[in-house]
A and B are shown apart, each in its own frame.
Chain A
């Protein structure tokens, strides 16, 4: 059946033949049919990485397989959401080793994007906590990959954007918790230099992330509110899941303009105060936007582009100032801008994080947006940084190949395991992958 699909940014849209097989066996029999596919879970990557002419939905393969409550090893099918995993593991005293900013992503998606969280500087990416995964290859063969078995396939699949095969199930190592609360500490930093300084000072804190006012200029440029967190030791292990408030329609785009966003950001900045400690439940701490279903609709019918880059640690602060100057001069930045310090890179071939600073912003789509993003892209390349594939919808092939230096190794692994010609997305074609 043909439907119109897009990523979370509602841009670009495309006609696609989508099937969601009810189980892994039928998923396999679809893969061996004619044509090339891309796996799609919750559709939460922002651009076109889960879009293709033929899409294979994984959301019916959403079963738990095994959970060892004593060791914290969890095996589940790839279409299960992190949200569902949390309902089972938190009451038993376990938590995800790494979590992105929404719980509405699938396990398979988290691995394919090799997602990172507020603890990247300490825990690395999601893929680093995967002990094994099972894939359906382009040949229809089921294969297990881990750091010890078919390791080349494993390092290509974690962060491999679904281009090596379809992840059927995975085993992850959870982390123990004693409470479902987070002790949160808030620090205000009045410019980008102070914000980066604060990250370094708090390098030992488990979770750290900053909301950044990307519209502030001059001496306020890069003013940020740092939110630090540690797992609490008390408060019980209950987890409360609220159904999100729905935004039933696209918000008229005129409502979100540089004036309203500037006002929002200014109020947000002045409302924030330095707070030593307050305990907040897990869900609103890690997933504040999950409280609103379809928050992507606030950007109107045209959709939005998300831009996330990482800049290397050396000259990182000075470069970040240059980048932010460009953003604030464009006047197009949004209120959902995030700054974070990354720890060391890992061995996955296409994994995004490298040591330095990462900045993520949304741009409501209009005539000049793509140009703005392209000029930021050029700056990032010249600064030795790169752009997160999961958020990307417009990156050029030359940028990709100049910044993801392992792309040829990645292609060799795809060749070896029969993925070429079987798995491709609109993004992989744009980026010049076979």
Chain B
């Protein structure tokens, strides 16, 4: 039985990870903005078999609440074994291009607030010499593309940050798992036309839970995105800059 803290617990992918943990009988502490939605999920986890579920309503852009949040989670479950950081917004690229504020707000939500949390969690886990930190990054962070480079650059920061954190915490027996999902059919992406590359959130969730169980470092889900992103990264800039993606 693990003690799992889910930050961004109402995101579709996080919710499905939580269902797997609840079925396994874990203790869960859920953090998100929307209280009604959190209560719905908490009741669901209890029926599925979670040994305890607590919720905490926080706007994660309020950085000064992060310490308090982590302490409450530790107190509620008497420690934390696994943290999943899964919140984010899918930026409207066009609006960001026209507004500095919009761009910085997206980077604040998708990168800076995550980095604040990661710094605090890393120090706590380093001190107790155990724990797993799993962070949702994105394939979008592998190379900036015209269609979503604001979101992509925020995720690139998360990927680079967790890569360094992984090296630093390795000797302290703390695992850092970076997840790079491809196209996932969630409410966040409801406006997109879905093709054969799209997967359901419960498929991604199963891969994430498995990656955490196996102490993996950085994974693409589904795994074929590794090959797609390799091609994207290897495309010479002289060609890449002319492409529409």
A residues with a Cβ closer than 8 A to B are: 1, 19-20, 22-23, 25, 60, 63-67, 76-77, 87-88
Contact = CB atoms under 8 A, between A and B. Distances in A.
Contacts of A22: 12, 37, 187
Given A23-B37, A23-B40, A60-B187, A67 B23 contact: no
Contacts of B191: 1
B231 interface: no
Given A64-B44, A87-B23, 13 more contacts: A19-B190, A20-B190, A23-B36, A23-B37, A60-B12, A63-B43, A63-B44, A65-B43, A65-B47, A66-B43, A76-B47, A77-B40, A88-B47
B145 interface: no
Interface string B199-230: 00000000000000000000000000000000
Contacts of B23: 87
A88 B190 CA distance: 29
Contacts of B37: 22-23
A72 to B, nearest CB: 13
Interface string B13-50: 00000000001000000000000110011011001110
Nearest to B19: A84
A67 B48 CA distance: 9
Nearest to B44: A63
Nearest to B43: A65
A88 B23 CA distance: 8
B244 interface: no
A63 B41 contact: yes
B49 A88 contact: yes
Given A88-B47, A88-B49, A63 B40 contact: yes
B36 A1 contact: no
A64 B190 CA distance: 23
- Which has the most chain B C-beta neighbours within 10 Å: A19, A23, A87? A23
B193 interface: yes
Contacts of A65: 40, 43-44, 47
Interface string B43-63: 110011100000000000000
A1 B193 contact: yes
A25 B190 contact: no
Contacts of A67: 47
Contacts of B187: 20, 22, 60
A64 B53 CA distance: 14
A88 B48 CA distance: 6
